[in-house]
Amino acid sequence: MSAIKLAFNSWPMSRNLFNYARSNVNKVKYQSTKSGGLVLIDVNDKTGYALVTLNSPPVNSLNLELLTAFSNALDEVKNNKSKGMILTSSSPTVFTAGLDINEMYKPDYARARKFWSSLQDCWLKLYGSSFPTAAAINGHSPAGGCLFAMCCEYRVMLPKYTIGLNETKLGIVAPAWFMASMKNTIPIRKAEMALTLGTLFSTEEALKLGLVDEIAKDKAEAIAKCEAFLKRYEKIPQMARGATKQLYRQQDIKELESSRGADVELFITTIKNDKIQTSLGRYIAFLKWKKRLKPLIQFVSYVTRLVKPQKKKKTTTT
> Which of the residues are catalytic?
99, 144, 166-167
- Report which of 218, 222, 215, 217 is spatially closest to residue 201, judged by C-alpha positions: 215
Within 10 angstroms of residue 267's Cβ, the number of other Cβ atoms is 21
Judged by CB under 8 A, the residue of 197, 224, 253, 268 near a second copy is 197
Q: Please report whether residue 198 would count as binding a second copy according to CB under 8 A.
A: yes
Least Cβ distance, residue 28 to a second copy (angstroms): 30
Residue 250 burial (10 A CB sphere; 0-12, 13-18, 19+): exposed
Q: Please report whether residue 184 would count as binding a second copy according to CB under 8 A.
A: yes
- Tell me if 30 sits within 8 A of 44, measured CB to CB: yes
Judged by CB under 8 A, the residue of 183, 221, 224, 268 near a second copy is 183
Least Cβ distance, residue 231 to a second copy (angstroms): 11
- Report which of 10, 210, 193, 7 is spatially closest to residue 90, judged by C-alpha positions: 7
Q: Please report whether residue 179 would count as binding a second copy according to CB under 8 A.
A: yes
Judged by CB under 8 A, the residue of 4, 173, 224, 268 near a second copy is 173
Cis bond upstream, residue 58 (ω within 30): yes
Judged by CB under 8 A, the residue of 42, 153, 227, 252 near a second copy is 153
Q: Please report whether residue 134 would count as binding a second copy according to CB under 8 A.
A: no
The CA distance from 171 to 156, in Å, is 29
- Tell me if 99 sits within 8 A of 119, measured CB to CB: yes
Stretch that binds a second copy, among 76-84, 121-129, 240-248, 297-305 (CB under 8 A): 240-248
Longest dimension (CA), the chain: 59
Least Cβ distance, residue 196 to a second copy (angstroms): 5
Could you tell me the CA-to-CA distances from 97 to 93, 138, 183, 247 in Å, in that order?
10, 12, 22, 31
Stretch that binds a second copy, among 24-32, 46-54, 78-86, 181-189 (CB under 8 A): 181-189
Q: Please report whether residue 20 would count as binding a second copy according to CB under 8 A.
A: no
Q: Is 135 helix (H, G, I), strand (E, B) or coil?
A: strand
Q: Please report whether residue 29 would count as binding a second copy according to CB under 8 A.
A: no
- Report which of 86, 88, 4 is spatially closest to residue 50, judged by C-alpha positions: 86
Q: Please report whether residue 243 would count as binding a second copy according to CB under 8 A.
A: yes
Stretch that binds a second copy, among 42-50, 79-87, 214-222, 241-249 (CB under 8 A): 241-249
Residue type, 266: L
Beta bridge partners of 163: 141, 201
Q: Please report whether residue 248 would count as binding a second copy according to CB under 8 A.
A: yes
Q: Please report whether residue 114 would count as binding a second copy according to CB under 8 A.
A: no
Minimum CB distance to a second copy smaller for 1 or for 243: 243
The CA distance from 257 to 198, in Å, is 26
Q: Please report whether residue 192 would count as binding a second copy according to CB under 8 A.
A: yes
Q: Please report whether residue 15 would count as binding a second copy according to CB under 8 A.
A: no
Q: Please report whether residue 118 would count as binding a second copy according to CB under 8 A.
A: no
- Tell me if 165 sits within 8 A of 132, measured CB to CB: no
x-marked contacts with a second copy along 218-237 as a string, rule CB under 8 A: --------------xx-xxx
Residue type, 283: Y
Least Cβ distance, residue 254 to a second copy (angstroms): 12
Could you tell me the CA-to-CA distances from 247 to 129, 186, 240, 305 in Å, in that order?
11, 19, 10, 52
Residues of the shown chain interacting with a second copy in the complex, contacts defined by CB under 8 A: 132, 153, 167-176, 179, 183-189, 191-193, 195-198, 210, 232-233, 235-237, 239-241, 243-245, 247-250, 275, 279
